[in-house]
Structure 1
């Protein structure tokens, strides 16, 4: 029996490690990823200012996995009807169970000129490109526009403002958001604290501003044009090409069908309480553990040969996270329950979150290095 895990981001690597522990010994486990590394994506923005952070957040899969076969290739198509996955190099893999953990790509919403002129921030090479463009175009002045004030946009704007300050550049950092507040998906007290942190770090906020089109020098919005020297776009996500650029809707068992699961940012998830689940690392990690338990239970049931009984009922996923945290340059904002933290306490929490994830995937030395990087900013 073969179990496939497609993608080795937060959901994929966590799910694969859980399956290594839970699957019967004679079940085959294969992980397909377009890179031989797992990337701690919520720390990628740090590489804009600190390229040395790339090493601790780049975990080789052969260090993190012990039982799974790793195939380094890009998934081009997932066919649930035939239980087959097609890869860019021409190979196809059949499966008995498959977990699609391919994450999401940047959504440009068809805005004229946006994709052609904006820099995304999903991978380390994106951070490298943003850093290079800053020193080419903005280190002696100018305007950097960051589109989208979700957590990624907040962190990108904060990091660019900190880089500006370190270089003593006369550069404006402008964060543009279509809705009426930064961090629009979060609680009001968290929004207020993030807003204050951004303003304290010298980021100009333009909320209730919709980007309509982009040229090589101007972001055209419904509230007026913004001339820019660099544009970073973090304004939304869409599905991976292998999923038809869609994020399919799945309910609390995270099943697309009886043998195919979609986990993390690759899906639009509705949890056991009927609530939509925000795309986040916290949700992806917890979803992965639920799916791993369900797949392992189902595989064991089928291999037992005693399939005359009722099949095991899948465990549902319920969205529960202890809080939220976002870095803003050298600062941070954290929410734990109803309490909001800024300053050194929030900064320490941020370092702990990244290190905790690295420790959970067996990368202890990288966790130590990341804490040192975080606390030295």
Structure 2
């Protein structure tokens, strides 16, 4: 029996680890990933400001896997009828059961000029590009030249105020302060919806907006981007001249799935032999509730996905007892520069406590799926006040 897992992100890695323990010894398990490394995506924005984070948040998959075989290759097509997976190098893999966990790509919605002129934030090279472009904006200010502040002003636009957009805007605002150019570089955050972090609880949205305002980010909600060129962004309300353009405005499916994010229900099954989870699909859970595209949801769905693959693979043609997944949010976390917002139940906290909670989540994830060394590296960089962190742990 051949089992494939496609994608080594949160969903793919976590379900692979569970299948390693639960599949019969006779089954072969292969994880296919185009980079060969697991990226801790929820910390990627940190690498924009602190390149050293790259060493902590990019974990070679071979260091993590036990019995699974890693195939480093790009998947170009999944033929569910033939149960084959085509790879960019020309090879084809057959499967008896497959888990689709590609994650998602950046969506540009066909807006003219956006894909050509904006930088997304999905990979390590994107973070490096955003940093390099921001430094170019700072360099062009020409502080030694006898010009006015208005002449020196630079504008950095971030399109999309979901979690990624808020976090990269916060990092850029912090970089501007660190380089003493906060008065000369304007960070503009655009959002089509009427609030930042749309789709999240109102208290969480409000606290996030307050931190953005405090850190000098020019937040413009209710603003729809309609076009862009190499110097100007057009919105329904007018134009914005820019020096740097970052786009985090939405997600779409992987090209191997035709760019689609097909819907799966609570059993996480695309068909009898193909399961899917994470951002690669749109999940409607067993209660009929749409599940947000998030790392937390991807990790939490993995137990049900692994259980159902094993149940289907060991049914011997008989009745397959598939588990239904019920999504329950454990809370929400977001970084805004050196600050953070954390919501647990109805309680929203910011400041040191918010940072401590976000760091605790990152350390726990890395210690389980990466290494203790990487986990401690993230903790050391994020937690200046260890006493506050210890005090928080005592209260939890």
- Determine if the TM-score, normalized by the shorter chain, exceeds 0.5: yes
CA-to-partner distance for each residue in 1:156-181, whole Å, 9 max, x for gaps?
10000001100111200000000100
Query: In the alignment, what sits opposite 1:285?
Result: 299
Give the secondary-structure state (helix, strand or coil) at the position aligned to 1:252. coil
Q: Runs in 1 of length 4+ with deviation above 4 angstroms?
A: none
| Residue equivalent to 1:88 | 88
**Aligned residue in 2 for 1:5:** 5
Is residue 2:154 matched to residue 1:142?
yes
The answer to whether the 8 A contact 1:30-1:68 is kept is: yes
Answer yes or no: is 1:201 the counterpart of 2:215.
yes
Contact 1:76-1:242 within 8 A present in 2 as well:
yes
Which residue of 241, 257, 275 corresponds with 2:255? 241
- Residues 176-215 of structure 1: pairs in structure 2 closer than 5 A: 176-215=190-229
Q: Which has the higher contact order (CA 8 A, sep 6+)?
A: 1
Separation (CA, whole Å) in 2 of partners of 1:264 and 1:5: 12
Task: Report the Cα distance in structure 1 between the residues aligned to 2:134 and 2:370, rounded to whole angstroms.
Answer: 35
Aligned to 1:62: 62
Identify which of 309, 321, 324 aligns with 1:295. Answer: 309
Deviation (angstroms), 1:352 = 1.0
TM-score after normalising by structure 1? 0.97
Q: Compute the RMSD of aligned alpha carbons.
A: 1.1
In structure 2, C-alpha distance between the alignment counterparts of 1:200 and 1:348, rounded to whole Å? 20
The 3-state SS of whatever aligns with 2:314 is helix
> Which moves more between the two structures, 99-108 or 312-321?
312-321
Q: Secondary structure at the match of 2:261?
A: coil
Give a deviation string over 1:332-362, Cα, whole Å, max 9, x none: 0000000000000000111111111111214
In the alignment, is the contact (CA less than 8 A) between 1:138 and 1:229 conserved in 2? Answer: no
* Deviation sequence 1:180-200 (CA, Å, 0-9, x none): 000111111111000001101
Report the 3-state secondary structure (helix = DSSP H, G, I; strand = E; otherwise coil) of the residue aligned with 2:169. Answer: helix
Q: How far did 1:300 drift? A: 2.7
1:353 alignment partner, one of 352, 361, 368: 361
* Match in the other structure for 2:149: none
CA distance in 1, matches of 2:244, 2:331: 33
Distance 1:185 1:159 in 2: 22
Cα 1:45–1:362 shift into 2, 3 Å: closer
Residue aligned with 2:230, SS:
coil
Q: Specify the alignment match of 1:328 in structure 2.
A: 336
SS in 2 for 1:352: helix
Structure 2: gaps of 5 or more residues: 142-152, 386-396
Secondary structure of residue in 2 paired with 1:301: coil
| Structure 1 counterpart of 2:388 | none
- Describe the superposition over 1:91-147 as per-residue Cα deviations: whole angstroms up to 9, x where unpaired: 100101000000100000000111110000001100000000011123534010000
By how many angstroms is 1:376 displaced?
4.9
Structure 1 gap segments, 5+ residues each: none
Q: CA deviation at 1:301?
A: 2.8
CA-to-aligned-CA distance 1:41-73 (integer Å, 9 cap, x gap):
011100010000000101111111010010000
Tell me the residue number matched to 1:111.
Answer: 111
SS in 1 for 2:291: coil
For 1:69 and 1:86, how far apart are their aligned partners in 2? Answer: 17
Contact 1:249 1:269 in 2 (8 A): yes
Describe the SS at the equivalent of 1:198: helix
Contact 1:148/1:175 (8 A) holds in 2: yes
Name the CA shift for 1:316/1:226 in 2 (closer, same or farther; >3 Å).
Answer: same
Asked if the contact 2:275/2:309 (under 8 Å) is kept, the reply is: no
Q: What is the aligned partner in structure 2 of residue 17 from structure 1? A: 17
**CA separation in 1, counterparts of 2:18 and 2:322?**
16
SS of equivalent to 1:347: helix
Matched, 1:174 2:182: no
Three-state SS of the structure 1 residue aligned to 2:56 is coil
Aligned to 1:228: 242
Pairwise CA distance, 1:215: 1.2
Match of 2:49 in 1: 49
Indicate how the Cα distance of structure 1 residues 146 and 339 shifts in structure 2: closer, same or farther if over 3 A, else same. same
- SS of the aligned residue for 1:99 comes to strand
Structure 1 residue aligned with 2:264, among 250, 257, 261? Answer: 250
Q: Which residue of 1 aligns with 2:171?
A: 159
